[in-house]
Amino acid sequence: MLPLAMPFDARQRSAEAERLVMSGEKRLYSKFRAAPYYGGIATADAVGCSFLCAFCWNYRRNEDPAHGGKFFSPQDVADELLAIARRRSLTRFRVTGSEPILGDGSFDHLLKVMGLVLDAEPRSSFILETNGLMLGAHQDWARRLTRPRVLVRLAVKGVDPESFERITGARKEFFRYPLLALRNLEEAEAKAWPALMEDLFSAAQVKTLENTLRDEGILSELELETLERYPSVLENLKRRGVSF
């Protein structure tokens, strides 16, 4: 189990999670499935995250990633996703339930999965769901995501450093990293946009974030998402002191 003392150093936690969920080029996954989001999408549920968000539906697995599933190579993951997509006539793919980019090894794994899937299905797209921590820490990494049919949905988690720390468990100084990631992605001309869990904030707070994004030179429109109110999510929000 990763250390749970909050607030924590998100980059340190990311490195520790990478060590637990990567074995050579293989990564830990809990399951593969078709999901209704984005109009239908073939989904791989990976394990391990640099944050520990109060509203995460995969909280327990990310809290203790070493016991979260089975290791799969990039080819194994691509084969699973392609089989689901062909069976269900889907053209969209994603990795979710975790942070896909924890370090060099997991990023290389992800890029190989995306390449295999997109090469096999020329009309498909891959939606990368990320918290942006490592893309903010490494400016040059954004360029590796500048390829046709890769879309980056970056969850910013909070509207300011204080709400970010309360929700993610990471120290407030890391609030800036997703903003840097968005700027890096725009400069690299990658297709990317920010997303925020709207239910946890007032309209005025959402406006504050939108103004912050504009001040940072981030032009992409903010996507507002709805909280999945699973009993475990509601219980954890209460335990973490996050109201809505």
80, 85, 86, 108, 158 from 120: Cα distances, Å: 13, 11, 11, 18, 37
Number of other CB atoms surrounding residue 206 within 10 Å: 16
Is residue 133 very low, low, confident or very high in pLDDT (cuts 50, 70, 90)?
Answer: very high
Confidence (pTM): 0.94
Q: How many domains does the chain have?
A: 1
pLDDT of residue 12: 96
R_g over Cα of the chain: 17
pLDDT tens digits along 65-93: 877 789 999 999 999 999 999 999 999 99
pLDDT of residue 232: 84
Question: Does residue 211 lie within any of the structural domains?
Answer: yes
Domain that holds residue 128: 10-240
pLDDT of residue 59: 85
Question: Does residue 3 lie within any of the structural domains?
Answer: no
pLDDT tens digits along 178-198: 999 999 999 999 999 999 999
3-state DSSP call for residue 97? Answer: coil
**Residue 175 amino acid letter:** F
**Residue 111 amino acid letter:** L
pLDDT of residue 3: 54
Question: Does residue 32 lie within any of the structural domains?
Answer: yes
Mean local confidence (pLDDT), 94-98: 94
Question: Does residue 194 lie within any of the structural domains?
Answer: yes
Question: Does residue 58 lie within any of the structural domains?
Answer: yes
Question: Does residue 22 lie within any of the structural domains?
Answer: yes
Please report the sign of the dihedral spanned by the C-alpha atoms of residue 144, residue 56, residue 52, residue 13.
negative
pLDDT of residue 2: 60
pLDDT of residue 61: 83
CATH number at residue 220: 3.20.20.70
Q: Is 56 a residue whose pLDDT tops 80?
A: yes
Question: Does residue 5 lie within any of the structural domains?
Answer: no
Question: Does residue 1 lie within any of the structural domains?
Answer: no
Round to whole Å and give the CA distance between 106 and 25.
Answer: 8
Average pLDDT of the chain, as a whole number = 94
